[in-house]
C-alpha cells in the first residue's frame, strides 16, 4: 500500500458506512460524508472537465449519493469508491466536453499553461514537457479505458475500488488499464506517465 492509499485508509474510517446507515433515518447526518469527500471529488472532476464544470458536477454527485443512500450496501464496498463511481457516471454525460478539454490542453502552448495544469490532467505526470502529448493521447482513448485509467491515476483507487466504482470485474479493469497505458506509452514515445512509484520498473 502506498502512502496515498494508507492515508485514505486512515482517513476513511469504517464509520463511513455507519454514517450512511444512520442518514437513512437522520438525513442531516449525510453532511459528514459531504464534508469528508467533497474536495477530493471536486479535484477529480476538475482534472477531467476543468474547474468550470467541477462545481456543478461535484455538487450533483453528492445530491445523487444522498438520494441513493438507502441503496448503498456496505457489504459491496466502501463509500469512497461508490462516490467516485457516481462522479464518473456524471462525467460520462459530458464526454464531448471532456474530449474538448483535453484537446484544448493539447493545443495550448506550454508557456501559456497555468502552473500545475499538467498535474490536473494526470497526477502521475511529473515532466511538464509531455503535458500536450498526454492530453492529446487521453482525448483519443475510448471512454471506458479513460475512466479506468483516470480513476487510478487521479483518484488513486485500487483495482478493487475501480471495479466497485464502475461495476466491473477486476479482470476487465486490468485489461482496460493495460490497454490505456499501452496507448499512452505509444503516444509518449515509450514513457508511461501513469505508473505509481510501487509499479515502476526497477
Which tens digits make up the pLDDT trace of 160-180?
A: 999 999 999 999 999 999 999
- Contact call for residues 117 and 103 (beta carbons, < 8 A): no
Rg of the chain taking only CA atoms, in angstroms: 17
Residue 201: pLDDT band by 50, 70, 90 thresholds?
A: very low
Q: What average pLDDT does this structure show over 177-198?
A: 75
Region at 168 (left for phi over 0; alpha for psi -120 to 50; beta for the rest)? beta
Q: Who has greater pLDDT, 133 or 78? A: 78
- Contact call for residues 77 and 164 (beta carbons, < 8 A): yes
- Reference 119, options 129, 131, 103; nearest CA is 131
Residue 118: pLDDT band by 50, 70, 90 thresholds?
A: very low
Look at the block and give the residue holding cell 479513460. 146
pTM of the model: 0.74
How far is CA 99 from each of CA 44, 92, 136, rounded to the nearest angstrom? 16, 11, 9
Q: Who has greater pLDDT, 158 or 131? A: 158
The percentage of the chain sitting over the pLDDT mark of 70, rounded to a whole number, equals 73
- Contact call for residues 181 and 149 (beta carbons, < 8 A): yes
CA 21 to chain centre: 25
**Residue 140 has what pLDDT?**
87
The percentage of the chain sitting over the pLDDT mark of 90, rounded to a whole number, equals 49
Q: Is the pLDDT of residue 24 over 90?
A: yes
Amino acid at each position: 500500500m502506498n502512502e496515498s492509499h494508507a492515508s485514505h485508509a486512515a482517513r476513511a474510517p469504517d464509520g463511513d458506512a455507519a454514517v450512511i446507515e444512520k442518514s437513512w433515518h437522520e438525513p442531516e447526518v449525510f453532511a459528514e460524508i459531504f464534508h469528508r469527500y467533497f474536495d477530493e471529488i471536486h479535484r477529480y472532476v476538475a482534472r477531467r472537465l476543468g474547474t468550470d464544470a467541477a462545481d456543478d458536477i461535484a455538487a450533483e454527485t453528492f445530491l445523487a449519493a444522498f438520494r441513493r443512500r438507502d441503496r448503498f450496501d456496505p457489504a459491496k464496498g466502501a463509500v469512497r469508491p461508490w462516490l467516485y463511481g457516481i462522479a464518473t457516471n456524471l462525467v460520462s454525460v459530458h464526454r464531448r466536453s471532456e474530449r474538448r478539454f483535453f484537446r484544448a490542453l493539447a493545443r495550448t502552448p506550454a508557456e501559456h499553461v497555468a502552473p500545475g495544469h499538467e498535474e490536473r490532467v494526470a497526477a502521475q505526470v511529473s515532466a511538464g514537457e509531455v503535458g500536450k502529448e498526454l492530453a492529446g493521447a487521453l482525448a483519443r482513448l475510448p471512454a471506458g479505458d479513460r475512466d479506468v485509467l483516470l480513476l487510478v491515476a487521479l483518484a488513486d483507487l485500487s483495482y478493487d475500488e475501480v471495479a466497485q466504482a464502475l461495476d466491473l470485474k477486476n479482470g476487465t479493469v486490468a485489461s482496460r488499464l493495460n490497454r490505456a497505458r499501452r496507448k499512452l506509452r505509444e503516444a509518449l514515445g515509450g514513457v508511461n506517465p501513469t505508473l505509481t512509484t510501487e509499479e515502476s520498473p526497477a
